[in-house]
């Protein structure tokens, strides 16, 4: 292969790993749906957008009133507050009481926790719940009895279970330093150990134990081998940790101090600095994602990037559409940690997109903003039939792989629809778009679309006291949805 071809391939790969590529490529897919109904599996009905916006505004009003500035950003932090109990503040207070800890070390510890908590945040199944220890559940929670009797499920339960494991030193190999994450401990986390600290057992079975264990072990391997993004402070005594990402950021040439009269270490961090460490598929966190079921781009696996055949028919460029959902979820979560605990300012985060996962995407299907083309679905699965009976088969379709064209199109439509919903919500609330008073995309994800997707799913599909899943079933290894 010529050097010119190599250079072209590298540019394409670098582009598909970038944040701007997500919105740009998804916009191309969205345009195909809007302009001439050129998508294979979905059609878009823009007339239903007001109904979605009304539902989202109702949720915002119900939960926050008119105090829009109090709406927090979408991130893993919210899940640690399950059942109206703040579990992070007491941990920070405990660390602040230790005079040997400086703010940077407290930041490292939270980054340690949040990285592991995000990696644990895959679908746990309808059956599993985490029950907190009695003495801790009853201390400050206003809903302690509910938590004790019913446990905490799904993303919130996974976060709370991970936090308790972190506090007990499960992720540390040094009993004297329990509140950290290090490679030796991560490498020892078998599926059986994960099952134990997450209370998975017959009758309370968590799905995806193998996948979680593998991700944690791969993180341990990355840290053991050394990475510029997670520099060890003292290789002989203190191993590399996810929290050492803070040290990498501080030393980056594009990171600048914020000019203030009283400097306390505040810095301005371009989001691209953080993103590089998370997306890099060789030395960053991008190296730990599974390759099985993924599509190589020019021979390289670069994560959550898939082929959209409808787009390829028009562009003739491979039709690759990047989403990088879990990488963006981790980025959103770490931004909040860095801004809250260290008072850093992360710039350029508007490059990030709404998350193309089943709650945000399910909202669009349940409100019929996007409608399936049933015959395309059934044909893609080798099922014969007419347009009429294809509709009847839609309710019994098997779970679709993340690479299936219907899922790729759905996710691309979701990214752009979330931008439109955000602007429409701000307009309905009388908030000037792009002003300092307007709701940001992370706020809309938190207070409206993600929550709205969960609530409309519950209204339409919940039964037997179990939370409801998405309107379309997806086969996932925990790093896509």
Express each pLDDT in 429-449 by its tens digit.
Answer: 999 998 999 999 999 999 999
Q: Is the torsion defined by CA of 364, 366, 370, 376 positive or negative?
A: positive
Question: Which of 213-227, 313-327, 408-422, 463-477 bottoms out in mean pLDDT, i.e. has the lowest?
Answer: 463-477
Residue 290 inside a domain? The answer is no
Note the pLDDT of residue 146: 45
Q: What is the mean pLDDT of residues 283-306?
A: 90
Burial 440-453 (b: 16+ CB within 10 A, else e): bbbbbbbbbbbbbb
Query: For residue 363, what are the domain limits?
Result: 13-72+306-319+351-481
Q: How many angstroms separate the CA atoms of 414 and 404, rounded?
A: 16
Q: What is the mean pLDDT of residues 458-473?
A: 82
Residue 337 inside a domain? The answer is no
Note the pLDDT of residue 75: 97
Instruction: Reply yes or no on whether the pLDDT at 342 is more than 80.
Output: yes
pLDDT in tens, 87-136: 999 999 999 999 999 999 999 999 999 999 999 998 888 889 999 987 55
Pairing mode of beta strands 256-257, 267-270:
antiparallel
pTM above the 0.85 mark? Answer: yes
Note the pLDDT of residue 295: 83
* Distance, first Cα to last Cα, the chain: 36
pLDDT in tens, 256-268: 987 655 456 689 9
Note the pLDDT of residue 345: 95
Instruction: Reply yes or no on whether the pLDDT at 420 is more than 70.
Output: yes
- The CA-atom distances, in angstroms, between 205 and each of 120, 128, 130, 201, 216 are 15, 5, 10, 5, 19
Q: What is the mean pLDDT of residues 386-414?
A: 86
Q: What is the mean pLDDT of residues 26-51?
A: 97
Instruction: Reply yes or no on whether the pLDDT at 287 is more than 70.
Output: yes
Q: How many angstroms separate the CA atoms of 18 and 125, rounded?
A: 32
Question: Which of 14-23, 185-194, 210-219, 294-303 bottoms out in mean pLDDT, i.e. has the lowest?
Answer: 294-303
Which of the four pLDDT bands, split at 50, 70 and 90, describes residue 232? confident
Instruction: Reply yes or no on whether the pLDDT at 394 is more than 90.
Output: no
Residue 25 inside a domain? The answer is yes
Q: Any residues with CB less than 8 A from the CB of 387 and at least 6 apart, and which?
A: 374, 375
Residue 139 inside a domain? The answer is no
Residue 143 inside a domain? The answer is no
Note the pLDDT of residue 391: 66
Residue 114 inside a domain? The answer is no
Burial 281-293 (b: 16+ CB within 10 A, else e): bebbbbbbbbeee
Residue 467 inside a domain? The answer is yes
Note the pLDDT of residue 144: 45
Instruction: Reply yes or no on whether the pLDDT at 139 is more than 70.
Output: no
Question: Which of 64-68, 218-222, 474-478 bottoms out in mean pLDDT, i.e. has the lowest?
Answer: 474-478
Note the pLDDT of residue 469: 80
Tokens 């991008």 label which residue? 286
Q: How many angstroms separate the CA atoms of 204 and 431, rounded?
A: 45
Question: Which of 4-13, 250-259, 360-369, 377-386 bottoms out in mean pLDDT, i.e. has the lowest?
Answer: 4-13
Residue pair 321/408 in contact by the 8 Å Cβ criterion = yes
Q: Total domain count for the chain?
A: 1
Instruction: Reply yes or no on whether the pLDDT at 224 is more than 70.
Output: yes
Note the pLDDT of residue 145: 46
Q: What is the mean pLDDT of residues 370-379?
A: 94
pLDDT top residue among 145 and 192: 192
Residue 382 inside a domain? The answer is yes
Residue pair 374/391 in contact by the 8 Å Cβ criterion = yes
Instruction: Reply yes or no on whether the pLDDT at 290 is more than 70.
Output: yes
Instruction: Reply yes or no on whether the pLDDT at 147 is more than 50.
Output: no
Instruction: Reply yes or no on whether the pLDDT at 5 is more than 70.
Output: no
């Amino acid at each position: 292969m010529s050097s010119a071809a190599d250079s072209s391939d590298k540019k394409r790969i670098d582009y598909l790993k970038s944040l701007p590529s997500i919105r740009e490529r998804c916009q191309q897919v969205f345009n195909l749906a809007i302009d001439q109904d050129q998508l294979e599996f979905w059609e878009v009905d823009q007339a239903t957008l007001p109904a979605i916006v009304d539902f989202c505004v109702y949720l915002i009003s119900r939960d926050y009133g008119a105090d829009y500035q109090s709406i927090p950003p979408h991130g893993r932090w919210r899940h640690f507050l399950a059942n109206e109990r703040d579990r992070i503040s007491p941990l920070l207070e405990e660390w602040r009481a230790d005079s040997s800890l400086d703010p940077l070390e407290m930041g490292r510890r939270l980054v340690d926790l949040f990285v592991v908590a995000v990696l644990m945040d895959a679908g746990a199944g309808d059956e599993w719940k985490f029950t907190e220890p009695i003495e801790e559940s009853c201390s400050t929670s206003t809903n302690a009895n509910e938590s004790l009797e019913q446990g905490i499920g799904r993303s919130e339960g996974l976060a709370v279970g991970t936090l308790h494991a972190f506090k007990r030193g499960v992720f540390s190999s040094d009993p004297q330093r329990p509140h950290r994450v290090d490679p030796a401990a991560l490498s020892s986390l078998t599926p059986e150990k994960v099952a134990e600290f997450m209370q998975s057992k017959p009758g309370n079975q968590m799905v995806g134990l193998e996948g979680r264990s593998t991700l944690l072990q791969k993180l341990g391997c990355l840290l053991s081998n050394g990475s510029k993004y997670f520099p060890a402070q003292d290789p002989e005594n203190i191993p590399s940790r996810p929290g050492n990402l803070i040290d990498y950021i501080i030393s980056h040439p594009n990171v600048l101090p914020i000019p203030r009269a009283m400097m306390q270490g505040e810095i301005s961090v371009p989001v691209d600095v953080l993103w590089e460490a998370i997306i890099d598929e060789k030395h960053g966190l991008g190296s730990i994602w599974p390759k099985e079921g993924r599509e190589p781009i020019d021979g390289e696996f670069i994560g959550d990037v898939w082929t959209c055949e409808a787009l390829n028919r028009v562009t003739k460029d491979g039709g690759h559409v990047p989403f990088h959902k879990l990488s963006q979820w981790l980025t959103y979560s770490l931004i909040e940690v860095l801004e809250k605990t260290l008072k850093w300012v992360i710039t350029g985060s508007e490059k990030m997109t709404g998350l193309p996962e089943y709650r945000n995407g399910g909202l669009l299907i349940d409100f019929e903003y996007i409608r399936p083309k049933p015959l395309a679905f059934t044909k893609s699965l080798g099922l014969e039939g007419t347009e009429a009976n294809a509709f009847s088969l839609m309710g019994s379709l098997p779970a679709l792989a993340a690479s299936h064209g219907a899922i790729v199109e759905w996710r691309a439509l979701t990214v752009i629809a979330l931008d439109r919903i955000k602007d429409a919500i701000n307009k309905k609330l009388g908030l000037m778009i792009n002003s300092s008073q307007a709701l940001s995309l992370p706020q809309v994800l938190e207070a409206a679309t993600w929550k709205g997707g969960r609530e409309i799913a519950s209204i339409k599909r919940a039964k037997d006291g179990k939370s409801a899943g998405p309107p379309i079933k997806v086969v996932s290894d925990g790093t896509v949805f």
